Amino acid sequence: MDWLLAALALFNLFSMVMVFSPRSVKRKDVPWAMFGTALLATELAWIWLPLQIFIAWLLALGGALESGLGNLALFILAVTWPGLVWSIWMSTKAQATVEDALSRGLGHNYRRQIPPAAQAMTRQEVTFRDWRNPLAMRRPDVEVLRNIPYGPGGVRQQLDVYRPRFIPEGGCPVLLQIHGGAWMMGDKSSQALPLMYTLASRGWIVVAANYRLSPSVGFPTHLHDCKSALCWIRENGREYGMNPDFVAVTGGSAGGHLSALMGLTGNRRELQPDHPDTDTSVQACIPFYGVYDMLVRENQHPNRQVYERFLRGKVIYETPQENPQLWDLASPIVQVQPDVPPFMVVHGTHDSLAVVAEGRTFSRKLRELSHSPVVYLEMPGAEHAWETVHSLRTEHTVDGVHRFLEWVRAGNAQPASEQQPQPEP
């Protein structure tokens, strides 16, 4: 019994170190194992803490404290439990954090600028019932159409459509969701489910798209595929109840990077070779915890070559010296210009994979150059991919994204001028 208690204590100690150690210590490479343990200690701390206490109590009853090892393990647990309490406490700040970010980016009266009909579709209060089951995603009022091809590339060029069972006349606005996974893994059906199901239940249609993955393909093929999925929406969306005149784009991690590029490179013919004349501008962009500068030009990361080492030869086939233009294209921060859609940039302060400085620097660059509103939501205590499960933080984040989208859809943002397809070089 004492060894079981010791194993639990070591695991919890490791996860707490991952949460609280300085970014410069644990962010030198891509720490996948660190991210996994830290997520349990942050987003699911409200379950993990009482479960640990219960397990420790059972093991103590079984004799775990009859040895020095067991008593040491219990001491370590007791030392680490305040960290879990801290995580729970930080999650209670989510509502105020979201509201403050929206007010700063859109104006303090932004809620009054959302039409009453759209206001009625937003959630007015988050209750424990909304997040008590972290993995309960499906909703009876949402229909999911799966594996619709948008290109000839098999499963990697398919998309899913999440839509309300009742489609109003004129169709529903559209949100295109791009999954993450380091450009080398991931699937359309496993990420952002709370956001997709919630918006679909509130009058939106969400399209979740796969794209071809590295190392089989190199950048910018991933971006080409995302634009092809957008073209499918514009060309076929009305058949599925969509209003393709309003399409927003979102995604997390690698999907955050690609969704940001989608917002910044609309109607560039060289990036949509299969649909050169289809409109690939978007009306709003909400990237989550993305990487926005592959060459770390502004010291966002303690290791300036971290992304270059990870991407070179696997995701981007040429070096920065061989093709600097390609690395600039892969860096959303370089693509920022005045004529871009409204952005809502979302990042967690305790992100293990994409340091929070990425979100801060990118949103600052957007504010400097963009003529459209920019919202920067920095969620205290949040890990990478926090919104993939239901939690208090997730529910308030989803509500904030919904309000942002309805505000933009109401025409409050100064619209970017119509971008025309650029001539081929």
Do the domain assignments include residue 425? Answer: no
pLDDT at 25: 44
Q: What is the CATH number of the domain that holds 393?
A: 3.40.50.1820
- Ramachandran quadrant class, 289 (left: phi over 0; alpha: psi -120 to 50; beta: rest): left
Amino acid identity, position 270: E
Is-catalytic flag, 391?
Answer: no
Closest CA to 413 of 335, 343, 333: 343
Query: Does residue 50 share a domain with residue 153?
Result: no
pLDDT at 29: 46
Q: How far apart are CA 173 and CA 402, in angstroms?
A: 12
Residue carrying the six token digits 């499963």: 155
Other Cβ atoms closer than 10 A to 38:
27
Query: Does residue 87 share a domain with residue 151?
Result: no
Tokens representing 404 are 């942002």
Query: Does residue 257 share a domain with residue 182?
Result: yes
pLDDT at 120: 95
Q: How far apart are CA 148 and CA 311, in angstroms?
A: 30
Q: How far apart are CA 418 and CA 197, in angstroms?
A: 31
Do the domain assignments include residue 417? Answer: no
Query: Does residue 13 share a domain with residue 150?
Result: no
Cα→Cα distances 256→61, 66, 248, 266, Å: 48, 51, 13, 16
Other Cβ atoms closer than 10 A to 81:
17
Among 36, 66, 91, the domain boundary falls at 91
Helix (H) or strand (E) holding 196: helix 193-200
Do the domain assignments include residue 31? Answer: yes
Do the domain assignments include residue 390? Answer: yes
Do the domain assignments include residue 341? Answer: yes
Do the domain assignments include residue 423? Answer: no
60 SS3 class: helix
DSSP annotation of 353: S
> Which member of 201, 228, 253, 331 is catalytic?
253
Do the domain assignments include residue 129? Answer: yes
- Its domain, for residue 276, covers 94-409
Amino acid identity, position 43: E
Residues counted in the chain: 425
Helix (H) or strand (E) holding 232: helix 221-236
Helix (H) or strand (E) holding 159: strand 158-164
Q: How far apart are CA 48 and CA 55, in angstroms?
A: 10
Among 91, 115, 133, the domain boundary falls at 91
DSSP annotation of 22: -
Tell whether omega for the bond before 215 is within 30 degrees of 0, i.e. cis: yes
Query: Does residue 115 share a domain with residue 14?
Result: no
The count of C-alpha atoms lying within 13 angstroms of the C-alpha of 212, restricted to the half-sphere facing its C-beta, is 19
Q: How far apart are CA 277 and CA 342, in angstroms?
A: 23
Query: Does residue 242 share a domain with residue 142?
Result: yes
Query: Does residue 75 share a domain with residue 152?
Result: no
Query: Does residue 159 share a domain with residue 173?
Result: yes
Amino acid identity, position 389: V
Query: Does residue 99 share a domain with residue 65?
Result: no
DSSP 125-180: ---HHHHSSTT----TTEEEEEEEESSSSGGGGEEEEEEESSPPTT-EEEEEEE--
Q: Domains in the chain: how many in total? A: 2
Is-catalytic flag, 384?
Answer: yes
Is-catalytic flag, 201?
Answer: no
> Which member of 2, 130, 160, 351 is catalytic?
351
> Which member of 384, 390, 396, 402 is catalytic?
384
DSSP annotation of 155: G
Query: Does residue 122 share a domain with residue 85?
Result: no
Among 91, 119, 142, the domain boundary falls at 91
- Mean pLDDT of successive 10-residue stretches along the chain, which has 425 residues: 90 83 49 68 92 93 91 93 94 97 97 96 95 95 98 96 96 98 95 98 98 97 98 98 98 98 97 96 98 93 86 95 97 97 96 92 97 97 93 97 98 56 38
Q: How far apart are CA 397 and CA 379, in angstroms?
A: 9
Query: Does residue 76 share a domain with residue 118?
Result: no
Tokens representing 425 are 């070089």
pLDDT at 14: 83
Query: Does residue 150 share a domain with residue 194?
Result: yes
Do the domain assignments include residue 416? Answer: no
